[in-house]
Chains A and B, each alone.
Chain A
């Protein structure tokens, strides 16, 4: 990998700049396109030249999930000429509550294929470039180098830092959006003079501290709001109009229905865009404290926790069927317990575990489970610290139990 040491920034944030400012080199619009984009063409800030800039633009969407879905649909409808899609996931029925680019008929298909078909339907004039891979330090610079703007629609901290550093190293704007439960954030990072994601959050939280959407839930319409804001900012950058979110952090609170913007400044000590000590991409899983066997999402396990036995759902089923002597403890929340549970378990939500320790017998074996295996591992570590030694964690939690052992247990 060749490190990019001096970023060749395209200044997209000054009004009147925009993508490929030399209007003579912009592609022409066909009569079909002129008709399709007529409502843009009569807008003073878009017009023929703006629409041709959109056609010339190449935008990379990292993730075709909650944020990537609305962003891709609106960028396609607006006539962005080329959309690159990065995703390696498969459409799951639990995605459909918010990932509106995919439909019920797409469950089980690759997200890239599903998104490509939908984009082609929305606007056949858009070229779709599929990158059906996980974005990594080994491929990110090569993939992103081919695009003008990167839209961050990822769902985990390692990939967010990877996208940010890639954007800074290549000098390409990173249109950021992030969501959790009912609240979202949006900004534009890595512009010529603006701050980057590391200026806002120098380091990620340790794994397990902030639950993922799979563990913590997400209000389905929220990524629709944040993703369309990302599409808006992307289009503004391409056109060179308006005031970019670069240098500002937009906070969206859907319950209070409040939007507020905070000032963001480039941190002179930021290792990415300040001191520039980050000259090449690093190991982001390691940076974020994720061990090699630990998935960023559900289904995590940790081989480093040597005294905690990892038990597969099938092994648990066999042990239950044999009548082995152990206590099965569910560390999820009561509302999750209402949705689904494993017969014979006792509910002790993770947050109340400390208070429940005196009621537990350290001489007995405790088998812990949650939804995906992350919270139960945290619980096992907590019990380990409290002196418990006979601890097992159900790998993949009740989700995997439902898939592999008992399909009558509802997945959620």
Chain B
């Protein structure tokens, strides 16, 4: 499956400046692993050392919270978009 991963600007610098990445996998976890393998600096910002999602980075699958579809186990389809939303606190 080929999906698009949308990164916030703050993470784009760890992905060669790209804010949209094409990635492949059958689940969100596989997509994240694919991207993490290609961009080692981005990897620790997407998931922890054991490959699990952080409680302060939320993944959206086509505008819906991926946790309600199984989190990193959620199945993805061709053309899906995964949006990464990190916690920010500025005001």
Decide yes or no whether B78 CB sits under 8 A from chain A.
Answer: no
Cβ 8 A contact of B90, one of A202, A213, A249, A256:
A213
The answer to whether A212 touches B87 (Cβ under 8 A) is no
The answer to whether A65 touches B55 (Cβ under 8 A) is no
CB proximity to A under 8 Å, residues B59-81? 60, 63-65, 67-68
Decide yes or no whether A67 CB sits under 8 A from chain B.
Answer: yes
> In the complex, how many angstroms separate the beta carbon of A193 from the nearest chain B beta carbon?
16
The answer to whether A180 touches B10 (Cβ under 8 A) is yes
Decide yes or no whether A406 CB sits under 8 A from chain B.
Answer: no
The answer to whether A210 touches B89 (Cβ under 8 A) is yes
Decide yes or no whether B50 CB sits under 8 A from chain A.
Answer: no
> In the complex, how many angstroms separate the beta carbon of B20 from the nearest chain A beta carbon?
10
Decide yes or no whether B83 CB sits under 8 A from chain A.
Answer: yes
Chain A residues with CB under 8 Å of B55's CB are 201-203
CB proximity to B under 8 Å, residues A240-260? 249, 251, 253, 255-256, 260
Cβ 8 A contact of A212, one of B54, B65, B90:
B90
* Contact A178/B88 with A263-B64, A265-B65 known, Cβ cut-off 8 Å: yes
The interface bits of chain A over 194-206 (1 if a CB of B lies within 8 angstroms of the residue's CB, else 0) are: 0000001111110
The answer to whether A63 touches B91 (Cβ under 8 A) is yes
Cβ 8 A contact of B87, one of A181, A205, A223, A263:
A205
> In the complex, how many angstroms separate the beta carbon of A150 from the nearest chain B beta carbon?
13
Docked complex Cα distance between A181 and B12 (Å): 13
The answer to whether B65 touches A183 (Cβ under 8 A) is no
* Contact A155/B88 with A183-B10, A201-B56, A202-B55 known, Cβ cut-off 8 Å: no
Decide yes or no whether A261 CB sits under 8 A from chain B.
Answer: yes
Docked complex Cα distance between A67 and B68 (Å): 31
Chain A residues with CB under 8 Å of B85's CB are 185, 249, 251, 262
Q: How many residues of A contact B (CB 8 A)?
A: 45
The interface bits of chain A over 150-174 (1 if a CB of B lies within 8 angstroms of the residue's CB, else 0) are: 0011111100100000000000000
> In the complex, how many angstroms separate the beta carbon of B46 from the nearest chain A beta carbon?
13
* Contact A179/B64 with A205-B56, A251-B85, A253-B9 known, Cβ cut-off 8 Å: no
User: From A204, which residue of chain B is reached at the shortest CB distance?
Assistant: B56
The answer to whether A65 touches B9 (Cβ under 8 A) is no
Decide yes or no whether B86 CB sits under 8 A from chain A.
Answer: yes
Decide yes or no whether B58 CB sits under 8 A from chain A.
Answer: yes
Chain B residues with CB under 8 Å of A253's CB are 8-9
User: From A63, which residue of chain B is reached at the shortest CB distance?
Assistant: B91
The answer to whether B56 touches A67 (Cβ under 8 A) is no
Decide yes or no whether A218 CB sits under 8 A from chain B.
Answer: yes
Decide yes or no whether B47 CB sits under 8 A from chain A.
Answer: no
Chain A residues with CB under 8 Å of B89's CB are 154-157, 160, 178, 180, 204, 210, 212
The answer to whether A67 touches B19 (Cβ under 8 A) is no
The answer to whether B9 touches A183 (Cβ under 8 A) is yes
> In the complex, how many angstroms separate the beta carbon of B91 from the nearest chain A beta carbon?
4
Cβ 8 A contact of A256, one of B19, B60, B64:
B19
User: From B13, which residue of chain A is reached at the shortest CB distance?
Assistant: A351
Decide yes or no whether A84 CB sits under 8 A from chain B.
Answer: no
* Contact A185/B88 with A200-B58, A201-B58, A256-B19 known, Cβ cut-off 8 Å: yes
Chain B residues with CB under 8 Å of A256's CB are 19
Cβ 8 A contact of A178, one of B9, B65, B91:
B91
The answer to whether B88 touches A262 (Cβ under 8 A) is no
> In the complex, how many angstroms separate the beta carbon of B72 from the nearest chain A beta carbon?
15
Docked complex Cα distance between A180 and B56 (Å): 15
* Contact A262/B87 with A181-B9, A256-B19 known, Cβ cut-off 8 Å: no
Docked complex Cα distance between A212 and B85 (Å): 17
User: From A180, which residue of chain B is reached at the shortest CB distance?
Assistant: B88
Docked complex Cα distance between A185 and B63 (Å): 14
CB proximity to B under 8 Å, residues A51-72? 63, 65-68
Docked complex Cα distance between A65 and B9 (Å): 23
Docked complex Cα distance between A255 and B10 (Å): 12
Closest 10 CB pairs of A and B: A180-B88, A203-B55, A202-B55, A155-B91, A213-B90, A205-B56, A201-B87, A179-B90, A67-B91, A180-B90
The interface of chain A, by Cβ under 8 A from chain B, is: 63, 65-68, 152-157, 160, 177-185, 200-205, 210, 212-213, 216, 218, 223, 249, 251, 253, 255-256, 260-265, 267
Q: Can you name 23 A-B pairs with beta carbons within 8 Å? A: A66-B90, A154-B89, A155-B91, A178-B90, A179-B88, A179-B90, A180-B89, A182-B9, A185-B85, A201-B55, A201-B56, A201-B58, A205-B87, A210-B89, A212-B90, A213-B90, A213-B91, A216-B10, A223-B91, A249-B85, A260-B63, A262-B60, A264-B65
